[in-house]
Chains A and B, each alone.
Chain A
Amino acid sequence: MTTSATEPTTTGAGTGPILEVTDLKTHFETARGIVRAVDGVTFSLDRGKTLGVVGESGSGKTVLSRSIMGLLPKRGTIREGSVRFDGVEIGDLSAKEMRSYWGARLAMIFQDPMTSLNPVMKIGKQITESIRQHLDVDRKYANELAENLLRSVRIPEPEQRLKEYPHQLSGGMRQRVCIAVALACGPALLFADEPTTALDVTVQAQVLDLMATQQRERFMAVVLITHDLGVVAGRADEIAVMYAGRIVEKAPTSVLFSDMKMPYTEALLSSIPKLEHASHTRLATIPGRPPNLVNPPKGCKFAPRCAYAQDRCLEEEPPLLPGTQPGHEFRCWFPVGTPEGAEALARNRATAAAATTATTTGEPPAVLGGTT
């Protein structure tokens, strides 16, 4: 319903990928040393598609999205690599230059709908702000547009809501307003950083369905960032799993779930409690915790927690290796579901069994505490 007004900003001319990120690095200077939050990430995203970015807290997924958007402070941040949006390099633009992209062609939805809206500004004003900034329309038309947007994100009584403040709405309604703000100028690319983590499951399903409908109607590309593999499973075309600032596995969604190669992806999936399991099923866990990003370990970053790890993993970092199916890449020397992987796992289990016998015969246990 707003397409006619939004056409001027969506070029639609390009045919290549809407976003190409090449070897993006984002490091922060801190008192403890340089934190390598994002350390060489490469991916591209086609128009109208959805990329799911999955990882634990501290894996760098949020910094990745902010780094691409150019939302990080300049001071203390070291940013390298290339970010091409619709064929244009935006990686080295200043904040002033980025203003013509923000809200207009690149938009973002944040995790917390309570704090991402301005509490002292009416809903209507927050939506029309970017419309008036980027589109050449008068106030009356902008207000109509805002009302239509609220209707399209299924907020009841939109004309009434425009005059209300954020605190008068529930969390789910506020997140819908955030979506309306993000969609206002018809962006070609939307970043959604944990958009439903703060919402209840039933509301989560409503909001995610709404995003999917809007995405289809507007042919918009979406980067959906989440820690929940369940959220992206049915909704993303492609999934990138991040660990310690890097993509450790990337594949089309169906391939990732049917033919995962990275032990980290497997461990992440098996640590989710499943409804099919009987109650009191013991959950698989990932021992230890994510590495220190100031002094990351040599070799594979996941090796210290990995059930498949061998000596080689501790010494030599695996590059992104191609999988058997197109578009599948992973970083592992002993991938899941391969003879090498199976052998490595069997060897580790045998060693662990031997170690337990050693412990019972009087040797002190090797690991005590310090886990989690």
Chain B
Amino acid sequence: MAGSGTAHLRGEGEALLRVEHMVVEFPVGRSGLAVHAVTDVSLDILEGETLGIVGESGCGKSTTGRAVMQLPPPKSGRVVYDGVELTALKGNDLRRMRPRLQMIFQDPISSLNPRRKVREIVREGLDIWEIGDKASRDAKVIEVLESVGIDPANAERRPHEFSGGQCQRISIARAVITDPKLIICDEPVSALDVSVQAQILNLLEEMKERYGLTLVFIAHDLAVVKNVSDRVMVMYLGKVCEVATPDLLYAQPAHPYTAALLAAIPVPDPGVRPEDQPVLGGEIPSPMHPPSGCRFRTRCPRAQPRCGEEEPELEEVAPGQFVACHFPLEPGEPLTFNNASTVSI
């Protein structure tokens, strides 16, 4: 899975966001070692599109989202947003881009300042950028709160008086108020109950239409990602495994890791005996010492010697489906697990 390569990128001028060969590393103390959080990842998003990024914890999906925001800036690579090279910007120039790129976080309660009123939280972006006069800012706050389903009469309350789902609605209101084009949603529904999750997912779709948004949707739940995305990118240990339209990806996963992830989802159907389902063994290796070649090879049931020597590049296996694997699955071919699946820590 070492998926490098840019075969899945579309034309230079077409995309709203284009990330090329992005690398993010974090130093480990003074040891000289580094955590290879994101290694040579490329992606692009057309205007109005939703890109879903999925993977297990530690795969670098959140780091990818944050590096696009330059929080922190990537070690190398290009991030072009709306024709502007973000990695080249510093200080005030970068700050001026912020209202056009927003973010929604996983924990709705801790991402809102508990000491401020909802009205102030939502309005802050307008105040900082001095958009409009006082009256129009107040009107905008009311409009945005209504659009996310929060009664503006409650705007004088503080976050602790709202439930998790309502706080996530407030976070969405805060993100859209500065009229951004792109919103990066980092696990926005992982902390919510299923019934509330459905409300927030529907709301995101509504907001996307209403404000003409482009979304990066980061999540670990494949079903959730399928529901919202136009294109899905599967990541593993800082690399891209597979990029495809959701229908193709879920119907005929080409990368063994994608197939294994899909097989591990619990199905709400008592007819399926989960114990009969094959399970991917082992755990994600340390990002400080990633395996050579394809990074998934230590857990991959199809791994061959070549996988350790040569890193696969993303290649198009079907129209709109790109996979980084030397031995991809044919459409409809099931992934067979040999029981000697490697257990590594």
* Chain A interface residues toward B at CB < 8 A: 56-57, 154, 156, 169-173, 200-206, 208-209, 212-213, 227-231, 233-235, 253-254, 256-257, 267-269, 271-275, 277-286, 289, 368-372
Contact = CB atoms under 8 A, between A and B. Distances in A.
- Which 10 pairs between the two chains have the least Cβ-Cβ distance? A369-B151, A230-B266, A372-B165, A283-B198, A271-B198, A200-B56, A286-B195, A273-B227, A234-B274, A279-B246
Nearest to B153: A369
Contacts of B106: none
B272 interface: yes
6 contacts: A201-B222, A203-B283, A206-B280, A272-B223, A369-B149, A372-B200
Interface stretch (B78-86, B123-131, B256-264, B322-330): B256-264
Contacts of A204: 264, 266
Given A253-B270, A257-B268, A275 B163 contact: no
B284 to A, nearest CB: 8
B338 interface: no
Given A156-B343, A267-B195, A369-B146, A273 B201 contact: yes
B71 interface: no
B341 to A, nearest CB: 10
B193 to A, nearest CB: 4
Contact of B198 (A154, A278, A285, A371): A285
A256 B80 CA distance: 51
A371 B149 contact: yes
Contact of A233 (B153, B230, B268, B275): B268
Given A201-B261, A234-B272, A372-B199, A280 B227 contact: yes
Contacts of B227: 273, 277, 279-281, 283
A368 B153 CA distance: 10
Interface in B225-245: 226-230
Interface in B17-66: 56-57
A275 B222 contact: yes
Interface string B316-339: 000000000000000000000000
B154 interface: yes
Nearest to A272: B194
A208 B195 contact: no
A122 B146 CA distance: 53
A228 B266 contact: yes
A285 B199 contact: yes
B92 interface: no
Nearest to B231: A279
A155 to B, nearest CB: 9
Nearest to B151: A369
Given A205-B274, A234-B272, A257-B270, A227 B193 contact: yes
A65 B73 CA distance: 46
Contacts of A229: 268
A279 B247 contact: yes
A196 to B, nearest CB: 9
Contacts of B345: 156, 169-170, 173
A170 to B, nearest CB: 6
B266 A233 contact: yes
Given A156-B343, A285-B202, A206 B197 contact: no
B149 A372 contact: yes
Contacts of A286: 195, 198
Contacts of B268: 229-230, 233, 257, 269, 272
Nearest to A289: B163
B119 interface: no
Contacts of B222: 201, 275
B193 A170 contact: no
B163 A283 contact: no
Contacts of B277: 205
Contacts of B226: 273, 275, 277, 279
B255 interface: no
Contacts of B199: 285, 371-372
Nearest to B280: A202
B343 A257 contact: no
Nearest to A171: B57
Interface string B187-210: 000000111111111100100000
Nearest to A255: B270
B145 interface: yes
Given A202-B260, A233-B270, A286-B195, A279 B230 contact: yes
Given A279-B230, A283-B198, A233 B283 contact: no
B273 interface: yes
